[in-house]
Structure 1
């Protein structure tokens, strides 16, 4: 593995796009291969996961991780973007008749699996084109409802017309759309005014570095920099021998052996894995493999 391969936990500031952050990281680290695992809207702040070097090939492993946010929504106004950057499409002063108990019940009713229509200005595709591109041309995209799960949603503060809340959601969930739908449940409509991503899977924003401090984070080996297997703490792993490593280099499978699951995960350590397995030598990633018929088949090989 190249020494520049790993995962960076970055605290994105407001005003920058996720692509802006990637460009900053490339300059700061002097590394061309940098990519993120999921965007944040420009007005939003918080945790952005950036993969560096060969680890850019691992982006798909991160897409299924749940995400946690703290957000503020304002009742009484809907916008075309479902957030504060958009144009007002409706206003309703009915929020004045609401109380905290009604609001808390409305948010709680959103907990669990359900369907969500993505925001009009989103990266979802409609007719082969990004929804936001259509919307900017004045064409309203027809977006299908997607199944999402709201694992947790808790009211932190009610200061009408604003509601501050914390939520943990499945991948693909738009918190902007969640605020929009809660506003409609309550009657007067709503839009999102602030959003901070506080966690992605096992990674916390508290451990992230600012874009200006990422080079120091790497050289000082701070908690914001996760090289090798530290970048994949939730992925089951299997240690390989030198002989097996040579086989893996040529794309050959190895016996399933003793697959170790992360602490706190369900299942027996040696159970047949149905998900990806990291093949490693100590803390160095050798390959990502798929379990099948009692063997592990390399899908992405990193061994030199």
Structure 2
């Protein structure tokens, strides 16, 4: 049995790459077109959003969603990767003079809009190459700071030199780099020792399936499997008549009509422009369109 198009929530274990997980899913689901909406580092665990079949064409609509994490950093040591897999580049015992109040203050100061230089061992593109590829060759990449938003950062435990925290951040934000920067703010250096992604937008890791349970999640209609319009709860929706279905499947626009509001909204995520609209017949996704000139112009059309 092969999986129909849809979205699969996967709980990635530690010690595997996101690419490894996609290969496993392709085998277990019996389908070649499987992709993710954003990687997790090998040492990290937690939620991967996997698009199955024709839904791989929808990846761009997931990039605005905020991401939530639980993490632990260790003060006193900075690494070249900003995580436990890297080589130590600096060490300091200054953290021994810190108290919990000082640590919490450093985290609180990072909440809100800011600028962040991505980790050297990141997937950022530089001249057509990934930053981590350059770094592994001994060519440290020059990365520019980017606008990021830390919607929430909350310290959940201080047991120096370790600090546990939760963070909800904008897309494109590196929690590894946040740990590095907080260590520099405090003056002792720091690196991330544990990371778990707990949510992406409306999708919680509690609903996710283990990679080996992918087919069971699909065939059993478990919460990890989100077919059709359930895969896009934050976009507007519009039901199509039979005549409109024919028009849309031929790539022709239809009247805007009455749009149903999103089933879920995230005040932390920017709105997509132009406004995307999921066009459906019953519970079947026919296309994703954009509103232009008060008409719905198909952008992504799916076969009947």
Same fold, TM-score > 0.5, yes or no = yes
1:196 aligns with 2:207: no
Could you list the per-position Cα deviations for residues 29-67 of structure 1 after superposition, in whole angstroms to 9, with x for gaps in the alignment? Answer: 111111111100000000000011111111111111100
In the aligned structure 2, how far is the partner of 1:303 from the partner of 1:129? 35
Aligned 8 A contact 1:77 1:91 in 2: yes
Aligned 8 A contact 1:245 1:303 in 2: no
The unaligned stretches of length 5 or more in structure 2 are: 267-272
Q: Structure 1 264/62 Cα, relative in aligned 2: closer, same or farther at 3 Å? A: closer
Aligned 8 A contact 1:285 1:303 in 2: no
1:246 aligns with 2:246: yes
Match of residue 52 from structure 1: 52
In the aligned structure 2, how far is the partner of 1:265 from the partner of 1:124? 28
Match of residue 86 from structure 2: 86
Aligned 8 A contact 1:179 1:190 in 2: yes
Match of residue 260 from structure 1: 260
Match of residue 149 from structure 1: 149
Match of residue 269 from structure 2: none
Look up the SS of the partner of 2:122 in the other structure.
Answer: coil
Match of residue 30 from structure 1: 30
Deviation at 1:265, TM superposition (A): 4.1
TM-score, structure 1 normalization? 0.95
Count of residue pairs the alignment pairs up: 298
Deviation at 1:263, TM superposition (A): 4.1
Match of residue 129 from structure 1: 129
Q: Superposed, which structure 2 residues align to 1:107-186 within 5 Å?
A: 107-186=107-186
TM-score, structure 2 normalization? 0.95
The unaligned stretches of length 5 or more in structure 1 are: 267-272
Could you list the per-position Cα deviations for residues 83-124 of structure 1 after superposition, in whole angstroms to 9, with x for gaps in the alignment? Answer: 000000000000011111111111011011110000000111
Deviation at 1:260, TM superposition (A): 1.3
In the aligned structure 2, how far is the partner of 1:250 from the partner of 1:35? 26
Could you list the per-position Cα deviations for residues 237-267 of structure 1 after superposition, in whole angstroms to 9, with x for gaps in the alignment? Answer: 111111000000111001111111124649x
Deviation at 1:126, TM superposition (A): 2.2
Q: Structure 1 265/38 Cα, relative in aligned 2: closer, same or farther at 3 Å? A: closer
In the aligned structure 2, how far is the partner of 1:246 from the partner of 1:75? 61
Aligned 8 A contact 1:289 1:299 in 2: yes
